[in-house]
Amino acid sequence: MTDRYAVIGNPIEQSKSPLIHTAFAQVCGQAIDYTKLLAPLGGFASAVDAFRAAGGRGMNVTAPFKLDAFAYATDLAPSAQMAGAVNAMKFEGDKVYAENFDGVGLVRDVVHNLSCPIQGRRILILGAGGATRGALMPIMDQQPAELVIVNRTVAKAEELAALALAHGAGSIPVGGIGYADLGAQTFDLVFNATSASLKTELPPLSASVFAQGCLAYDLTYGKGLTPFLQLAKQAGVTHLADGVGMLAEQAAEAFAWWRGVRPDTRAVIERLTVPLV
């Protein structure tokens, strides 16, 4: 029987995961069946139980079930523990192995695809939600010169800064602040990890944060030139990116984890790219 995988969420219609994993399977010569699974709110565990009972081998997890998957897993990888959320599961007998590949996907896109080192650079992350939490460990592992997390709700930025500091063993300066406290600081890489772009909104950010030669990266994808990227462009930033590469890279990590072979992501990124205009 063909090995079965799925992405679970609610809603799920918008998910690009079947397209991505089917393309990966084709180029890697792997016979897999990958579908979308709509689970009712409150019905995550029974939907996953049924999928496993029918022979399912693994799942991607999207909103709003990343915390349910965290609770459901029997074996949490450090990435999932740090993120406090799960975006990929692998089923082996009674075991449910769980990972969070979002952060590693982001870093791989930035360092490898966009050829933009994080090591030794000043990093600013806007937002202190699940995506930022997942990105902390992979970013700190790159040894930036400094990491600042800025958020509307300052307490959440402070909490994540404390987590990152603990992971970096105190050797890398980390701050968690509000937008008003950014002052005249400038950064080499600015990540918009807020959900503002989904609502065509702009976090209260000054255009002066972008240093010369800066990369402005919006984790939201498929929206073209978001208000954040527009601000960066108007400030003279020429290196702009959205989260399409992150999406493809986290999927490639999950595929490699399940199948033992890592697909090239270029064709998928090209196919899903919406021009930043």
Binding site for ligand NDP (CB under 6 A): 102, 127-132, 151-153, 156, 193-198, 201, 203, 219-221, 243, 246-247, 250
79 within 8 A of 137, measured Cβ to Cβ: yes
Q: Is 233 a catalytic residue?
A: no
> Which C-beta is closer to ligand NDP: that of 76 or that of 196?
196
Cα 210 to chain centroid, rounded: 22
Per the CB < 8 A criterion, the answer to whether 25 and 34 are in contact is yes
CA distance 217 to 114: 10
Amino acid residing at 253 = E
**Gap between the Cα atoms of 258 and 272, Å rounded:** 23
Cβ 194 to ligand NDP shortest distance, Å: 3
Question: What does the alpha-carbon distance between residue 92 and residue 81 come to, in Å, rounded to a whole number?
Answer: 20
Select 76 or 226, whichever has its Cβ closest to ligand NDP.
226
Q: What Rg do the C-alpha atoms of the chain give, in angstroms?
A: 19
Choose between 220 and 265: whose C-beta lies nearer to ligand NDP.
220
Rank residues 32 and 219 by Cβ distance to ligand NDP and give the closer one.
219
- From the list 16, 36, 66, 95, the catalytic residue is 66
Catalytic residues: 66
